[in-house]
Amino acid sequence: MTQPVPRLSIPNGPPDTILLNGRLLTLDSSGRVAEAIAIREGVIQAVGSSSEIAEMAGPNTRRIELDSQTVMPSFFDSHNHMRGTGLGLDAVDLSRAKDIGEVLAVVEQRAAVAPPDEWIVSSGRWHEEQLVEQRFPNRDELDRAAPNHAVLLRRGGHNVVVNSRAFERASVPEEATNPPGGTFVRDGGGSLTGHVIGGAAFQRILRAMPSPMPEQEEAALKKVMRAYNAAGITSVIEPDLMESEFTSYRNLRERNEMTVRTTAMFRFVPGFTPEELERAKFRLEKREFLPANDPWLRAGGVKITADGGVETGFIREPFAYTDDPREPHGKRYASEENLQEFCIVASRAGWQVGIHCVGDAAIDSVLDAYEAAHAAAPLTGRRWALIHMMAAQPEHFPRARALDLVITAQQPLQYTLAAGFRKYWGPERAQHIEPLRAYLESGLIVGGGSDSPVTPYEPLIGIWSSVTRETHLAGVQGPGRSPSKRR
C-alpha cells in the first residue's frame, strides 16, 4: 500500500555548497526572490541575502558566484513516459520529415543497415499533419521502402503504421476484426492500410517485437535521465509501466545511478469482460509494493486508460471526422461496469488511482467510477487523478472537487496534436482542449507535465504554449484559456 513520502529534515552543520549573488526564484507563496542559497547533503538549508548565507560557510564549503544569474527550482513532470522516451532516443526520427517521400527515405536508410530480423521502429514524436500530404504513409509504401524488414512507425501514443511484414510477424490476418477500443484502418476496397489505432488493436503487434535487452534498457534510461537533467527536470511520474518494465529502474536504483526521481504508476486493464476484470483485480491483490519512503523510486499507484486519444477519445457529440464510422463517439477502453467495480476494489484496498480520460464522455465515466469508489471508501485526501482531462466541461469541476481529485494536465499534447483535434473534433471543439485557466479557477490542484515521447519533454515549451496557447502546426488555439493573468 502506498504511504506518503516522509518530509526530509534539514541537516545541521556548515553547508556543502553555497550560491551567492544571484536571482533565486523561490516560487514560494510570497513570490520572494532571494540572492543566495545554502545546500547540505542535497537538501536546501536556507535561502537569504548573500551576506547571511556567506556567514554560514565553513572551511570546506564550496562557494559559487552567480554574478546575477537566475536559479530556480527544477521541474517535476506529472506525466512522462521516461522509459519509452529513453528507448526511443535511437529510434527512427521522423520529426523533420516534410512529405511522405522523406518518411520513406528515412525508413529506407535504416533498412539498409539493420539486420533483417530487426524491427524498424520510429519515435512517436512526429505528426502526419507536418507532411505535405497530411496523411500517414500506407502499408504498400512502407513495403517498398523496407521489403525485408518489419516496420512499425509509432505516432503519439495511440497510433502506429506498420508494413505487411509486421502484420505477418504478429499473425494479423487480412480479415482481422476490430477489438473493443481498437481499429485496423481499411481503405475504400476493404484492405488494411497499415494504420492501426488504439493499444487494444496494436498490442498484439508490439508483443511480436523482441523486447529490449536489460543492458540496452538501463543504458537508455541513464541517457534519458541525463537529457532530462539538462532540461531542468529532476522528478517524473512514469505513468504506465508493467512490472517487467520496472526491473531496469530497480537495477539503476540499486547501483545508485538514478538522476531523476521517479514515481511509477502501474498499468491495469479492467477491460470489458468478467474475465478481464478478475485478472485485473487478481493482480491488484497480488502486487508487491515498493518501499514508499525511497525518495528516488517509489510506486505511485494504478494507471488505467478510459478512452483513446485524438482519433478515438470517447466524446459526447460525434466526431467531425472518424476512421471508424461504426463508432462515431470514439472508443472506451473499459466498460462502465468494469471501471466502476475495479475502482471500488482499488479504493477499499487503499490504492491511489489515476485514469487517462481525453473525451468529455470518458471524463463522465471516470467521475462516475470515482464517485462509486468514494461511496465504498472515501477518496478525500488521497489524490486520485484525472489524467489529461482534455475535453473538460464546466460541470466536471464541482464533481472533481467534491472527491478531492487532482488533474495532471499536459498542455504539450494540445501543442503537438492541435492539428489532429481540429480535423477529428472540428475547429470549434479544438479551441476548448486542455482549458488550463478553467482548471485553476475550479480550485483543483493541477500538476503540469509533458506526456513525452508523444510530445517534447522540454518544460519551457510546455509553459510557453500554456501561456500563449500556441501550437506546433495549427496556430493559437483558445487564447482565452491561457492561465496567464496578463492576457
CA atoms of 190 and 184, how far apart (whole Å): 10
With contacts defined by CB under 5 A, name the span among 1-9, 292-300, 377-385, 450-458 that binds Zn ion. 450-458
Closest CB to Zn ion among residues 341, 458: 458
To the nearest whole angstrom, how small is the minimum distance from the Cβ of residue 241 to Zn ion? 11
By three-state DSSP, how is residue 34 classified?
strand
Binding mask 9-48 for Zn ion (x = CB under 5 A): ----------------------------------------
Quick one: which H or E segment has residue 326? none
Ranked by CB distance to Zn ion, the top (closest) residue is 451
CA atoms of 75 and 457, how far apart (whole Å): 11
Q: Are strands 70-71 and 23-25 parallel, antiparallel or unpaired?
A: parallel
Closest CB to Zn ion among residues 142, 405: 405
To the nearest whole angstrom, how small is the minimum distance from the Cβ of residue 451 to Zn ion? 5
360 is a site residue for Zn ion (CB under 5 A): no
451 is a site residue for Zn ion (CB under 5 A): yes
Closest CB to Zn ion among residues 15, 84: 84
With contacts defined by CB under 5 A, name the span among 140-148, 207-215, 247-255, 451-459 that binds Zn ion. 451-459
To the nearest whole angstrom, how small is the minimum distance from the Cβ of residue 433 to Zn ion? 15
Burial of 99 (0-12, 13-18, 19+ CB in 10 A): middle
CA atoms of 328 and 322, how far apart (whole Å): 7
Q: Could you identify the residue written with the cell 502526419?
A: 128
To the nearest whole angstrom, how small is the minimum distance from the Cβ of residue 349 to Zn ion? 24
To the nearest whole angstrom, how small is the minimum distance from the Cβ of residue 338 to Zn ion? 21
Closest CB to Zn ion among residues 45, 466: 466
With contacts defined by CB under 5 A, name the span among 120-128, 297-305, 316-324, 447-455 that binds Zn ion. 447-455
Closest CB to Zn ion among residues 145, 454: 454
Closest CB to Zn ion among residues 217, 451: 451
User: Which residue from 244, 173, 246, 248 is spatially nearest to 204, judged by alpha carbons?
Assistant: 173
Closest CB to Zn ion among residues 451, 458: 451
To the nearest whole angstrom, how small is the minimum distance from the Cβ of residue 378 to Zn ion? 28
Taking the mean position of all CA atoms in its chain, how far away is CA 147?
Answer: 33
How many chain residues touch Zn ion (CB under 5 A)? 1
Extended strands (E) in 132-214: 151-155, 159-162, 183-186, 192-197
Spell out the residues 6+ positions from residue 465 whose beta carbon is closer than 8 angstroms to its own: 411, 412, 414, 415, 471
To the nearest whole angstrom, how small is the minimum distance from the Cβ of residue 7 to Zn ion? 29
To the nearest whole angstrom, how small is the minimum distance from the Cβ of residue 305 to Zn ion? 9
The 3-state secondary structure of 383-410, one letter per residue: CCEEEECCCCCCCHHHHHHHCCCEEEEC
What letter would DSSP give residue 323?
S
To the nearest whole angstrom, how small is the minimum distance from the Cβ of residue 191 to Zn ion? 31
To the nearest whole angstrom, how small is the minimum distance from the Cβ of residue 268 to Zn ion? 15
With contacts defined by CB under 5 A, name the span among 94-102, 429-437, 445-453, 468-476 that binds Zn ion. 445-453
CA atoms of 238 and 109, how far apart (whole Å): 32
Spell out the residues 6+ positions from residue 342 whose beta carbon is closer than 8 angstroms to its own: 268, 270, 277, 280, 281, 284, 304, 334, 369
User: Which residue from 45, 47, 49 is spatially nearest to 8, judged by alpha carbons?
Assistant: 45
Closest CB to Zn ion among residues 424, 457: 457
CA atoms of 66 and 39, how far apart (whole Å): 15
Closest CB to Zn ion among residues 262, 482: 262
Peptide bond into 14 cis (omega under 30): no
To the nearest whole angstrom, how small is the minimum distance from the Cβ of residue 188 to Zn ion? 33
Q: 34: phi > 0 → left, psi -120 to 50 → alpha, else beta; which?
A: beta
Closest CB to Zn ion among residues 110, 472: 472
Burial of 182 (0-12, 13-18, 19+ CB in 10 A): buried
Closest CB to Zn ion among residues 451, 470: 451
Closest CB to Zn ion among residues 15, 88: 88
By three-state DSSP, how is residue 445 classified?
strand
To the nearest whole angstrom, how small is the minimum distance from the Cβ of residue 252 to Zn ion? 21
CA atoms of 257 and 254, how far apart (whole Å): 8
245 is a site residue for Zn ion (CB under 5 A): no
Binding mask 401-440 for Zn ion (x = CB under 5 A): ----------------------------------------
With contacts defined by CB under 5 A, name the span among 125-133, 392-400, 428-436, 443-451 that binds Zn ion. 443-451
Interacting residues toward Zn ion by CB under 5 A? 451
